[in-house]
Structure 1
Amino acid sequence: MPYTSPPAFTTRPTLEGHFGMAASTHWLATAAAQAVLERGGNAFDAAVAGAFLLHVVEPHLNGPGGDMTGIFATADEPSKPQVMMGQGPAPAAATIEHYRSEGLDMIPGSGALAAAVPGAVDSWLNLLEHHGTWELADVLDFAIDYADNGHPILARAAGAIGKVSELFTEHWPSSAERWMPEGRIPEPGELVFNHAYAEVLRGLIAAGDGLDSREERIQAARKEWTSGFVAKAIADFIAAPHRHSTGGDHAGVMTLEDLSSFSAGFEDPVTTDFRGYQVAKIGAWGQGPVLLQALKILEGFDDERLDPSTEIGAHTILEALKLAMADRDTYYGDADVDLDWLLSEDYAAARRDLITEAASPEFRPGASRDGAAPSFTTPLIPEGADKEALIKAGIGEPTVQKNGVNNGDTCHLDVVDRWGNMISATPSGGWLQSSPTVPELGFCLGTRLQMMWLDEAAPSALRPGRRPRTTLTPTLISKDGQPIIALGSPGGDQQEQWQLLLILRMLVGGYAAQEAIDAPALHTTSVAGSFWPRTWVPGGAVVEDRLGEAVISGLIARGHNVTRAGDWELGRLSCVTRDPETGRLSAGANPRGAQGYAVGR
């Protein structure tokens, strides 16, 4: 093993088998996905079943009114991975002028003005239509069952309701009615129900009654979602002014036309090579290429500098991430991004040369291809806001508090089947604290627009029809044209960072899946936060205490502004793997928070 610091402990074994593997952020979603595999479904049928169940059992982390990105490869065309584009755009009336006229200088972190067109459901149905094999009714049966018959609410979900209970009771009565039955916060483990959402899913199934083919029935459900009763209920409900995270009341701007004009699709990924492996990500309309840029920078270092468990390795990785993230905040957006330059050998070498033995507290985006300085300078808001107060106001994605504690924010699932189909997907948005619940639907809209700027010069400026620069970013790794690892994590700005640790530990350090997931995590907060109020910590680094006193003290001595998060607080990774030569499969899932699980055989 190349690393001098091998894994010392795992919370559970890396699962191994040959039939199928599923891993996700909630055991029920994992179990549903595996149940589909056991009954003859493929990885895509299984992923869709798990995803709709995540809407029900992790409502504080995602919802039907949110968004998602996925990346997958099929057994028929393994060398051609595809991106699931489930990120809806800004509505037609979501203009900088309108938001400024509402007295805003930043897009709110909650409320309908922060909502992009919901893309998650249509994207999952699109996958099922084109690559699945199961009927829609069979796939949705798991979610309908738990929505109607109840599921034990997670402690963190109950905690999220408690933090926004005042907002619900005073300003969002439909959310109070949905999430605070009898006017109280549910107890952890108490059975909770979502009959309204179960009826929504039954309505999607009924839209295809009488049609001849499976594909036609799914198409009818997609049309019902984007232009039928769901879309009409959303457009009507958010037209009424309601409280936003800024403290003011505003009406939403999304219309029925916005909802009906969206259609999820597939895209080619952005890829780069690293140590003989091909790593595939979503494009620069999201933060996916950050991981690729970091890998390009790190590839020029010896293995000893790629071990996150050592002082020099942790330091080098943090510095590379800061440089890649600065480029994200300066150049990325749903626009023309020069990725050929940002992922070039010459550019990576120039960025690598900036890494010294000391931590940099500076925000350092690189120069463009012609040597010009960036035309947009990201506003940097120093850390110092009361995060608990922001959470109570319905803040968008409270991933990590000041003390480093990971609240969670998003979901993730990975599936591989015996034929070689493989998928990694990260659903998010539309969590219960995003905006008021639409009563007849049982869910609310998301808040992804908060990642856009009310500044025309920004590459991610708010413009109608443009996608917000999402943080949702799963990963697919291939070797010799065959997919071998699907992985991902919730975590907002930390998603790429935690995934980078797993990739280095598996591809360079030789760790097995569960070993890499369990190993101590870290990330930088020396980035412009993607979520309202978009703070940053110059030189900031958050680490798990298990990294060890010697390593942590060494990072502090190098100038990192270190926050100790506790032993098991960072990272919510999961992954599945496949060896194309033998067909052997493996999987691992995050033990932190005691809800992520992998299963398989």
Structure 2
Amino acid sequence: MKRSRPPVHDQLRIAEETSMMTTRPELIGDFGMVASTHWLASAAGMSVLERGGNAADAAVAAGFVLQIVEPHLNGPGGEVPILVWSESERNLKVISGQGVAPEAATIETITGLGLELMPGTGLLPATVPGSFGAWLRLLRQWGTWSVADILEPAITLARKGSPVLSRVEATVAGVADLFRTEWPSSAEVWLPGDAPPAAGSRFRNPALADTYARIARESEQAGGTRDQRIQAAHDAWYAGFVAEAIDAFCRTAEVLDTSGERHRGLLTGADLARWQPPVEDPVMIDYGRYRVAKTGPWGQGPVMLQQLALLQAAGIADVEPGSADWVHLITEASKLAYADREAWYGDPDFTDVPLDDLLSPEYAKQRATLLGDTSSPDLRPGSPGGREPTLPRYPGDHEADPAAGSGEPTLRGDTCHLDVVDANGMMISATPSGGWLQSSPVIPGLGFCLGTRGQMFWLQDGLPNSLRPGARPRTTLTPSYAFRDGDPWLAFGTPGGDFQDQWSLHFLLDLIHRGMNLQQAIDAPDFHTLAVPNSFYPRDIHPRHLVIEDRFGPDVITELRRRGHLVEVGDGWSLGRISAVARDGGWLKAGANPRGAQGYAVGR
């Protein structure tokens, strides 16, 4: 692939772009910043900072509020990976809030039901709900507030009500008949008056408010030290009344799922009782003067690092940002990195992931030779350290029309994201997801449903991401963190499933190579490829398919088509949902996504 540094007039044009008008200002201050996918969560986090809490306290409060105000994107039964930089400890840690498969969840158990794929909804794909334990781990180890104080904003919004988003109305409307006929416990919560809640109306979830209020009471009644009170809250969830209700529901309810059949769940109270959220070291790679950090390969996080290594080896610094060359090179590098995700990533507690080889400069240089001038139609995993890759047996027709979607347009949810930085320099990036209102029936008396992350396991032996009891599914959730010149710099991330480590990558590249500020890089036009296997049921893939916002312009789109990309031109403000906070030049900064008119950053 030929690449050259842009001529002088193009360099001037690029410089002009960096001063472009943005949808909102990049926030700058020195007290604290909170950015998230919903304005009420950002406001709740900022209120904690204003009342003396630190970034950990603010993130936990905001995280619980997201469950109330974005219930189609995350819920109490879901999961959350968290990156936390502690300024006092001078280190970065990962909290793995991804729950594990039940002890009864074996390949033989699921295939014995006549299934080739784990269903995308219902009770069978439920893993241990990891979100609650991860938020409490963050609160206990790095925060200062009590469980009762942290939960108060979420309890108030659940009890008094929050404004219904248009997407929530549409989501509930899409599954209303299912709720009425098959999931009556969900109908009781989500169909007040037997109708979906209208956009802009006030929606209340008193059962969920009661659940969190009871946890707060049991925490306070436990007495003792702050740690003991937090442990009491953890126990109420994982060994107390919440676990008991989950256990009873999974044992007795037969639930219709995407297989078209009714199945009971496999998750038990014992599965919840034995689980603790691990705290791990991040995986990191150097990219020039930057060091970028992600979760381990139980998530797709390292795929961003592989893309960076490939792009560095391919000489992206010499490519004109925003050009057809730029989009093409990034897209082809993404395909190679995601192919390795398919062949090599899984829970490292259960499989040998050759991460050192996958992230080595030598491997990146070798793989970069595959980057050609035209769009590749092939899924091409590499052979790190000489190992031979093994791919799953993908179901269906990989050339299916992507307009058909995932096969369950109203049943699959998405994800949230939040970032916080405080005056003392603590920084947090978290990506809550799962437990979507449409993914599984509400557990009676609790006001929330279980997650369905187990759909990401393969029901085939011998793969890194094969279903195993006690293993984490290889999730798509992927918060991000970056250092600059060795100093803490940036916490960022986005919803978006498989696209998360494409959109987040593009944002980072715009900061580094185009000199944009946070809001400019968030607002910049975006793109992604569908030529990577979908992590969600029914696991489709669309070779050469590239979705791009129309703000890239006709010349770029025409050239990409000439190179063999099947280009789908989307609305100019439709792709990417980044939020970010930063420490930069003695200031704290923040930006949030304008797309969807929902994300917001606050700070001073």
| Residue 361 (structure 1) aligned to one of 377, 381, 385 | 377
- Name the structure 2 match of 1:340: 356
Q: Identify if the C-alpha distance between structure 1 residues 386 and 518 changes in structure 2 by more than 3 Å, giving closer, same or farther.
A: closer
Query: What are the residue-to-residue correspondences of 1:517-528 with 2, within 5 Å?
Result: 517-528=522-533
Q: Report the alpha carbon displacement of residue 200 of structure 1 after superposing the two structures with TM.
A: 1.1
Q: Which whole-Å CA distance do the structure 1 matches of 2:11 and 2:426 have between them?
A: 30
Matched, 1:183 2:198: no
Q: Report the alpha carbon displacement of residue 310 of structure 1 after superposing the two structures with TM.
A: 1.0
| Residue 507 (structure 1) aligned to one of 512, 516, 519 | 512
Q: Report the alpha carbon displacement of residue 534 of structure 1 after superposing the two structures with TM.
A: 0.7
Q: Identify if the C-alpha distance between structure 1 residues 384 and 568 changes in structure 2 by more than 3 Å, giving closer, same or farther.
A: same
Query: What are the residue-to-residue correspondences of 1:421-460 with 2, within 5 Å?
Result: 421-460=426-465
Query: What are the residue-to-residue correspondences of 1:24-103 with 2, within 5 Å?
Result: 24-78=36-90, 80-103=91-114
Q: Which whole-Å CA distance do the structure 2 matches of 1:179 and 1:48 have between them?
A: 25
Secondary structure of the corresponding residue to residue 411 of structure 1: coil
Matched, 1:593 2:596: yes
The answer on whether the counterparts of 1:25 and 1:595 sit within 8 Å (CA) in structure 2 is: yes
- Name the structure 1 match of 2:171: 160
The answer on whether the counterparts of 1:330 and 1:378 sit within 8 Å (CA) in structure 2 is: no
Q: Counterpart of 1:593 in structure 2: which amino acid?
A: G
Q: Report the alpha carbon displacement of residue 561 of structure 1 after superposing the two structures with TM.
A: 1.1
- Name the structure 1 match of 2:491: 486
Matched, 1:253 2:266: yes
Q: Which whole-Å CA distance do the structure 1 matches of 2:406 and 2:148 have between them?
A: 42
Q: Which whole-Å CA distance do the structure 2 matches of 1:502 and 1:222 have between them?
A: 36
Secondary structure of the corresponding residue to residue 16 of structure 1: strand
Percent identity between the two aligned chains: 49
- Name the structure 1 match of 2:3: none
Q: Report the alpha carbon displacement of residue 300 of structure 1 after superposing the two structures with TM.
A: 2.4
Secondary structure of the corresponding residue to residue 535 of structure 1: coil
Q: Report the alpha carbon displacement of residue 375 of structure 1 after superposing the two structures with TM.
A: 3.1
Q: Which whole-Å CA distance do the structure 1 matches of 2:153 and 2:271 have between them?
A: 30
Matched, 1:542 2:547: yes
CA offset digits 1:463-515 (Å, max 9, x no partner): 10110000000001013442110000000000000000010011221110000
The answer on whether the counterparts of 2:37 and 2:600 sit within 8 Å (CA) in structure 1 is: yes
Q: Counterpart of 1:349 in structure 2: which amino acid?
A: K
- Name the structure 2 match of 1:400: none
Q: Counterpart of 1:319 in structure 2: which amino acid?
A: E
Q: Identify if the C-alpha distance between structure 1 residues 359 and 442 changes in structure 2 by more than 3 Å, giving closer, same or farther.
A: same
Secondary structure of the corresponding residue to residue 81 of structure 1: strand
The answer on whether the counterparts of 1:526 and 1:539 sit within 8 Å (CA) in structure 2 is: yes
Q: Counterpart of 2:358 in structure 1: which amino acid?
A: L
Q: Report the alpha carbon displacement of residue 562 of structure 1 after superposing the two structures with TM.
A: 1.1
The answer on whether the counterparts of 2:406 and 2:537 sit within 8 Å (CA) in structure 1 is: no
Secondary structure of the corresponding residue to residue 427 of structure 1: coil
The answer on whether the counterparts of 1:415 and 1:423 sit within 8 Å (CA) in structure 2 is: yes
Q: Identify if the C-alpha distance between structure 1 residues 210 and 100 changes in structure 2 by more than 3 Å, giving closer, same or farther.
A: closer
Q: Report the alpha carbon displacement of residue 391 of structure 1 after superposing the two structures with TM.
A: 2.9
Q: Structure 2: state its 5+ residue gaps.
A: 1-9
Q: Report the alpha carbon displacement of residue 588 of structure 1 after superposing the two structures with TM.
A: 0.4
Q: Counterpart of 1:325 in structure 2: which amino acid?
A: Y
Secondary structure of the corresponding residue to residue 130 of structure 1: helix
CA RMSD of superposed structures (Å) = 1.6
The answer on whether the counterparts of 1:378 and 1:528 sit within 8 Å (CA) in structure 2 is: no
- Name the structure 2 match of 1:559: 564
| Residue 498 (structure 1) aligned to one of 497, 503, 509 | 503
Q: Counterpart of 2:529 in structure 1: which amino acid?
A: T
Q: Identify if the C-alpha distance between structure 1 residues 133 and 458 changes in structure 2 by more than 3 Å, giving closer, same or farther.
A: same
Q: Which whole-Å CA distance do the structure 2 matches of 1:222 and 1:389 have between them?
A: 35
| Residue 237 (structure 1) aligned to one of 241, 245, 249 | 249
The answer on whether the counterparts of 2:421 and 2:582 sit within 8 Å (CA) in structure 1 is: yes
Q: Report the alpha carbon displacement of residue 304 of structure 1 after superposing the two structures with TM.
A: 5.2
Q: Counterpart of 1:594 in structure 2: which amino acid?
A: A
Q: Which moved more, 1:168-177 or 1:497-506?
A: 168-177
Query: What are the residue-to-residue correspondences of 1:132-211 with 2, within 5 Å?
Result: 132-208=143-219, 209-211=221-223
Q: Counterpart of 1:318 in structure 2: which amino acid?
A: T
Q: Counterpart of 1:231 in structure 2: which amino acid?
A: A
Q: Counterpart of 1:256 in structure 2: which amino acid?
A: G
Q: Which whole-Å CA distance do the structure 2 matches of 1:30 and 1:283 have between them?
A: 27
Q: Which whole-Å CA distance do the structure 1 matches of 2:321 and 2:155 have between them?
A: 42
Q: Identify if the C-alpha distance between structure 1 residues 343 and 391 changes in structure 2 by more than 3 Å, giving closer, same or farther.
A: same
Query: What are the residue-to-residue correspondences of 1:466-477 with 2, within 5 Å?
Result: 466-477=471-482
Q: Report the alpha carbon displacement of residue 302 of structure 1 after superposing the two structures with TM.
A: 3.7
- Name the structure 1 match of 2:467: 462
Q: Report the alpha carbon displacement of residue 388 of structure 1 after superposing the two structures with TM.
A: 6.6
Q: Counterpart of 2:160 in structure 1: which amino acid?
A: N
Secondary structure of the corresponding residue to residue 193 of structure 2: helix
The answer on whether the counterparts of 2:317 and 2:513 sit within 8 Å (CA) in structure 1 is: no
The answer on whether the counterparts of 2:392 and 2:458 sit within 8 Å (CA) in structure 1 is: no
Q: Report the alpha carbon displacement of residue 210 of structure 1 after superposing the two structures with TM.
A: 4.4
Q: Which whole-Å CA distance do the structure 1 matches of 2:296 and 2:494 have between them?
A: 17
Q: Which whole-Å CA distance do the structure 2 matches of 1:215 and 1:561 have between them?
A: 55
CA offset digits 1:242-295 (Å, max 9, x no partner): 101111100001111001111112100000000111101001111010000000
Q: Which whole-Å CA distance do the structure 1 matches of 2:277 and 2:26 have between them?
A: 34
Q: Which whole-Å CA distance do the structure 2 matches of 1:305 and 1:468 have between them?
A: 38
Q: Identify if the C-alpha distance between structure 1 residues 490 and 350 changes in structure 2 by more than 3 Å, giving closer, same or farther.
A: same
- Name the structure 1 match of 2:327: 314
Q: Report the alpha carbon displacement of residue 212 of structure 1 after superposing the two structures with TM.
A: 2.0
Q: Which moved more, 1:543-552 or 1:51-60?
A: 543-552
- Name the structure 1 match of 2:401: 384
Q: Report the alpha carbon displacement of residue 198 of structure 1 after superposing the two structures with TM.
A: 1.0
Q: Report the alpha carbon displacement of residue 378 of structure 1 after superposing the two structures with TM.
A: 4.8
Scaled by the length of structure 1, the TM-score of the pair is: 0.95
Secondary structure of the corresponding residue to residue 375 of structure 1: coil
Q: Identify if the C-alpha distance between structure 1 residues 497 and 385 changes in structure 2 by more than 3 Å, giving closer, same or farther.
A: closer
The answer on whether the counterparts of 2:457 and 2:466 sit within 8 Å (CA) in structure 1 is: yes
The answer on whether the counterparts of 1:416 and 1:576 sit within 8 Å (CA) in structure 2 is: yes
Scaled by the length of structure 2, the TM-score of the pair is: 0.94
Matched, 1:413 2:418: yes
Secondary structure of the corresponding residue to residue 287 of structure 1: coil
Q: Which whole-Å CA distance do the structure 1 matches of 2:271 and 2:476 have between them?
A: 22
The answer on whether the counterparts of 1:14 and 1:514 sit within 8 Å (CA) in structure 2 is: yes
Q: Identify if the C-alpha distance between structure 1 residues 3 and 26 changes in structure 2 by more than 3 Å, giving closer, same or farther.
A: farther
- Name the structure 2 match of 1:226: 238
CA offset digits 1:132-159 (Å, max 9, x no partner): 0111111111001100100111001111
Q: Identify if the C-alpha distance between structure 1 residues 24 and 3 changes in structure 2 by more than 3 Å, giving closer, same or farther.
A: farther
- Name the structure 2 match of 1:401: none
The answer on whether the counterparts of 1:306 and 1:504 sit within 8 Å (CA) in structure 2 is: no
Q: Identify if the C-alpha distance between structure 1 residues 65 and 308 changes in structure 2 by more than 3 Å, giving closer, same or farther.
A: farther
Q: Identify if the C-alpha distance between structure 1 residues 71 and 547 changes in structure 2 by more than 3 Å, giving closer, same or farther.
A: same
- Name the structure 2 match of 1:265: 278
Counting matched residue pairs gives: 585
